[in-house]
Structure formats: C-alpha cells, structure tokens
Structure 1
Amino acid sequence: MRVVPILAGIGLTAAAGACAAAPPVTVFAAGDIADCRWSRPASSGAAGTAALIAERLPATPDAIVLTLGDTTYPVGLPAEYRDCYEPTWGAFRDRTRPTPGNHEYYNGSPAPYFDYFGAAAGARGLGYYSFEAGPWHVVSLNSHLSPADHARQLAWLREDLARHPARCTLAYWHVPLYSSGGHPPATNLRMQDAWRVLLAAGAELVLSGHDHDYERFAPMDAEGRPDARGIRQFVVGTGGAFLTPFRLGARGGEARQATDHGVLKLVLRDDGYDWEFLGVPRSWSEYPAPDVNDRGSATCH
C-alpha cells in the first residue's frame, strides 16, 4: 500500500504545557467491515484488520474500538453478525462503540444491529449517543434517519454539546460529508447541518466510512472551505469489505489510498491527537507489507 500525499505538510503537536495532563486514550476505528460472501471468516478482510487491533491491545489494554457503519454485509442479518463479524471483530465487542450504516437498514430494520451491540449502541432505534474518552467528548451520530428523526438528532446534539463542553471533541457517523470515493457527492450532504453544529462547538474530528477507501482531509468548514479552526475528517471504509477506487477529487484531501485494508489508530491526548493509518500486511511475496502509513499529530483548538 502507498498512501498518496496530496498536500504537503502535517501539523505537529505543540509541546504540552499542562502539569497534570489526563492520560491519553487509544482508539482503533474503521467501517465497512465483515463480508464473508466469498471467503471464510478466518480468511476475510475483517480477519486481517481484526489482527491489527488484537496485536496492539497488549500495549493499549484500555483502547476503544469504533465501528463506522456497515458492520456486516450484505444486509445486516443476525447470521452475518454470528458467522462473520463475531469470529473476527467480535473479539472487541466489550470495548466497541458502534454507529449504523446503510447496510444495517437493508433488511428493512436495523434490529439485528441493536440486538448484537445492545446498550453500547445507545438507545434502541435511535443510533446516536455520546460518551467520554479520557479528556475527549465523543459523539456517535446516525446518518440514516428520516428527516423528522434527523431533526430530533440535531436538537439532541446541540443539547449534548452544551452539557458536555470540552476542549477536544470527536464525532463519527457512516456517510462522509467530504469524499473522493464513488458515492455521488450530493448524497453526502445529509450531515452538513450536523457538521455546522459541531463546528460551532469547536469540534476537532469527524470519522466516517461508506466509501471503501482511506482518505484524510484538512480542517474545513461545512461548505468545504479551508479553516484553521475547522474540523478534520477521516474516511476509513477499509475495515474488511471489498475496496473501491477513487472517482472524484474532493477539495481539501491531504492523503488517500484504496489498495489495502486497514484501521485508523488515534491517540487522544489532553491537548490534541496523533493519527496513524495501519495497513494490513500483504500476503503476496513481492509486496510483503504496506510501504507507507499516513501518520501525524495536531492540537485541539
């Protein structure tokens, strides 16, 4: 794998000045995960990304796992969770905080998703909730609600952010606002109003999936304009499902790749965050492992 840099430069974290900083929290995140239609679980893409997380847990025993939607394929049936997700990413269920994707709804109801994750998925049927990860406030949103339910989600989001003021805030949902992937850009605008609410609250990060690739964006406002105090978005649809090529050239992209499965590792610090894309080592001998991983650091606003 080669992550292709698009814009030069990565922001470096300023030296920490606090005398008693809160302990950092490690997060592993990816979406578009378990698909066993053409392989057994042990040889699926989800098994490869699960191995990346498992081998790092001894060094980060309190790590959190975020799933960014489309947890199973093709339609989120109970059998898909039991036979494909559980043997791979199921090892992390006790530390997983999920968000639903469009495939969770393809069976007509996301009930199997809520059945599998239980209380960790928030209030049943809503698909949005928040929690604290060390010094960070973290919000999971649902990008597949009806207009009326989405309006209620926005009202909840405003109240939640007002109740939990934090220097550093991360939000995640399935459909990205910005992407160079294959889904039509107009379909991504459903979460633009949520981006505005988060931006007004000073949020730092948004994570999404949906497009089966990895892409990092510069901080931007809700209209896609560069903004030093804007939100940085990562698209991490590389959790194990088939990868898809880039078809667009979205503004603000800084790095991207669509050749290797992998997960995003974040270290959430008291005053900022570090990121690294971890690619699954390749099995063919001439290219034994990903050759470049995207990594960097930034401070909170």
Structure 2
Amino acid sequence: MAATAAAILAVSTAGCTGAPEQGGSATPDVRIAAVGDMNDAGNIDPDSPSGRNAAAITRLVQDNEIDAFLGLGDFQYDTAYCDDYVNYWATLWSGTMPKLYWVSAPNHDWEPGRNEDLDNFMNGQCPGSPEKAAINMERGRIGNGEAYSKDLGNWHFAFLSSAHWRYNPAQAGAMTRWLDRDLAAAKEAGKHLAVVHHEPYFTSTTAEHERAGDHKPWIDVMWKHRVRLTLSGSQHNYERSCPVNNKDKCVDDGMTAFQVSTGGIALRPFTSSPRYIEKRFSDTHGFLRLTLHSDGSFDWNFVATRGPSTDSGTRPAP
C-alpha cells in the first residue's frame, strides 16, 4: 500500500482546545446521530429501511437537532465506486453531508487496489456530487485510512479505519501509537473520550463475523485512557455493552460499546451471547441518538424506523 504512516496519521488533533471552562457558561450538550451499514446495491427506494433512516437523519440535520452525524462505515454495498455513491447513496443520504463525520470500512468502502473512491466522494471529487462531508469542509481531503480526531463540546472523538488491520497491520500499529498520543493529550486537556471504528471488538458472533480480535491493541489503549464510549458497526444488528474493560469485565469506569449497523442492510441473527452485552436485537432498522453532557454523563436512544425494538438509558458522570 502506497500510503505512508505519516500520511495515514496526518489528520490529527486539530480542534483539541484545552481544559473545560471554569466559572463561565456551561459547555453545551453534544447531540449525535450514528449508524453504519447503510445502503444496498442499487437502492434508491425512500421507503426502504435505508431510505427511512436517511430521511429521519436528514430531518435532524435540517432542523439543527443534531451537532454531528457519525457514519460508522459500509456506506454503500456491495463494492462502491464514485458512480455508486453518487447514484445510490447520495440519492437517499446526501442531506446528512453537512454534519457527517465518517470512517472507512473494509471492504465495501475501501480495499486498496480495488474500490478506493470513498475519500474522493467525501471530498466532493466524484463527478456529479461536489458537496463535501462536514469533516472535509473543516479539514480538507482525508484519505480512506487516515486517523483523525475532533472535539465536540467537552468530548473528544478519535476516528479510526478498521481496514488497516486487514490490509496493512504495520499501519494499524502506527495508528495505535497515534491513538495513544491523541487520547493522552485530550485527557490532559480535560476532555471525555470516545472512539469510532467500523469493526467491533465488544460484540456477539454472527454467521458472518466474530469480534475483531486483531483490534485488541486499540482496546488496550482505550482502556489505558479510560475511554467512555465507543461506536462501531459491521454486524447488521444492534448491541450495547455494559461499561467494559479490556478483559471483557463489566466495571464502573469501562467503555460503553455501541454497535449500530442497522442503517438499511438486511439484518443478521446472533450466534453467541457474551456476558458483557446488556442489550441487543436483530429485528429492527434504525439509528442511535446520543446526548453527551459536559460532565461525562450521556443519554442514548435507539430510534426505530422499521421494526419493534428500541433501547434507551443514561450513563451517569464518572
């Protein structure tokens, strides 16, 4: 792979802005929508699960009811190139672009030497779709595998491409070292920490996927810095863990791991039952809404757009 470690990690902690305010106005809440695994090949049906999710999140963007939409990977199936993003994904989801922060997933989003257009699309470089994702408007071009981070209120988000564990483990190792430095700086600045990546570590098995065990170095770094929240996709269902540590134990200061891959692709049943999973279902499409408070507490609500299941709750401040 031609990209160097320096290029992969070029987009880093711009926007990390020191300690929270003292004695001034309170840092505002951060309102987020998040989902992955979004659109079937050739789909432009507004009444499909993908179309319903896209319309609901687009309304939140247009009404300024969210501050960010986190795209958790696998935007367009099966093997997406510029024409696929422009003709299919954008037909339903383009209204989310003004608040979109994204990660690339293997292999539907990006496989080196095959489909490499997701970063072009997000930077407005695919013919017929000049609009840029929010993070590209802020930072410029971001390559498919580049790590970056972003402060939202009193929270700090690191965005990582799971693809490197499959395609170039040496780059994944460099990204692990970047993550360690990035989270350390944000924690020193008084931020609460969150990480976004496509392939989940804290997850139930399906017939297609087990946990991403090769991601364990990332998990160890997250635990070291006491990340509060992780978001991933890939499994085609919904899961929420207990606050969990890097040894799969439920602990008060662990990570709450949300796996939200209910964006529109056909759903998969579970084939295992990890003890650290507190809530899960595979019968409902929808997306996750989060409200993150400046004290590190947060509220969540799964918004069902087709199907009977939901999930909501609050994690208190540390």
TM-score range, shorter chain: 0.7 to 0.9
Equivalences for 1:7-156 in 2 at 5 Å? Answer: 20-37=25-42, 39-57=43-61, 60-102=64-106, 103-106=108-111, 108-109=113-114, 111-118=116-123, 120=135, 123-145=142-164, 146-156=168-178
The 8 Å contact of residues 168 and 300 in structure 1, kept in 2 or not, is answered as: no
1:212 aligned to which of 228, 233, 236: 236
Which structure 2 residues correspond to residues 234-273 of structure 1 after superposition, within 5 A? 234-271=258-295, 272-273=297-298
1:268 and 1:51 mapped to 2: Cα distance?
23
Provide the residue aligned with 1:280 in structure 2.
305
2:195 maps to: 171
* Structure-2 separation of matches of 1:298 and 1:47: 31
SS of equivalent residue, structure 2 residue 184: helix
Q: Aligned partners of 2:202, 2:184: CA distance in 1, in Å?
A: 26
- For 1:84 and 1:154, the matched residues in 2 are separated by 34
What is the CA distance between 1:281 and its match in structure 2? 4.1
SS at match of 1:105: coil
1:28–1:266 Cα contact (<8 Å) kept: yes
Confirm or deny: 8 A CA contact 1:75 1:106 kept in the other structure: no
Query: How far apart are residue 90 of structure 1 and its match?
Result: 1.4
CA drift at 1:257: 1.1
Q: Residue 219 of structure 1: SS of its match in structure 2?
A: strand
CA shift digits 1:2-29 (9 cap, x unpaired): xxxxxxxxxxxxxxxx984211111000
1:42 shift after superposition: 2.3
Q: Judge conservation of contact 1:33–1:71 (CA < 8 Å) in 2.
A: yes
Q: How far is 1:279 from its partner?
A: 0.5
Unmatched tracts of structure 1, length 5 or more: 1-17, 283-289
Q: What residue is the counterpart of 2:128 in the other structure?
A: none
Segments ≥4 residues shifted beyond 3 Å: 55-62, 106-110
The corresponding residue for 2:179 is 157
Deviation at 1:201, TM superposition (A): 1.1
Q: Relative contact order, CA 8 A, sep 6+: which one is greater? A: 1
Alpha-carbon distance between aligned partners in 2 of 1:56 and 1:202, rounded to the nearest angstrom: 30
Q: Structure 2: which 5+ residue stretches go unaligned?
A: 1-22, 124-132
**Preserved contact between residue 181 and residue 213 of structure 1 (Cα < 8 Å):** no
CA distance in 2, matches of 1:299, 1:127: 32
| 1:47 CA drift (Å) | 0.8
The CA deviation at 1:105 is 2.5
Root-mean-square deviation (CA, aligned residues, Å) is 2.1
Q: TM-score, normalised by structure 1?
A: 0.84
CA offset digits 1:89-115 (Å, max 9, x no partner): 211112100011111135744521100
8 Å Cα contact 1:167/1:300 also seen in 2: no
> Residue 80 of structure 2 aligns to which amino acid in structure 1?
G
Q: Which residue of 2 aligns with 1:298?
A: 315
Please, which moves more after superposition, 212-221 or 154-163? 154-163
Confirm or deny: 8 A CA contact 1:23 1:269 kept in the other structure.
yes
| Helix, strand or coil at the partner of 1:247 | coil
Tell me: CA distance 1:59–1:82, structure 2 relative to 1, closer, same or farther (3 Å). Answer: closer
CA pair 97-174 structure 1, distance change in 2 beyond 3 A: same
C-alpha displacement of 1:195 = 1.3
Moved more, 154-163 or 263-272: 154-163
Say if 2:144 and 2:161, in contact at 8 Å, map to a contact too. no
After superposition, the Cα gap between the structure-2 partners of 1:109 and 1:24, relative to the gap in structure 1 and judged at 3 Å, is farther
Kindly indicate whether the alpha-carbon contact (under 8 Å) linking 2:194 and 2:227 is maintained by their aligned counterparts in 1: yes
What is the identity percentage for the equivalent residue pairs of Structure 1 and Structure 2?
26
Bigger shift: residues 24-33 or 154-163:
154-163
Asked if structure 2 preserves the Cα contact closer than 8 Å seen for 1:41 and 1:87, the reply is no
Q: Structure 2 length normalisation: TM-score?
A: 0.80
| 2:214 equivalent to 1:190 | yes
SS at match of 2:213: helix
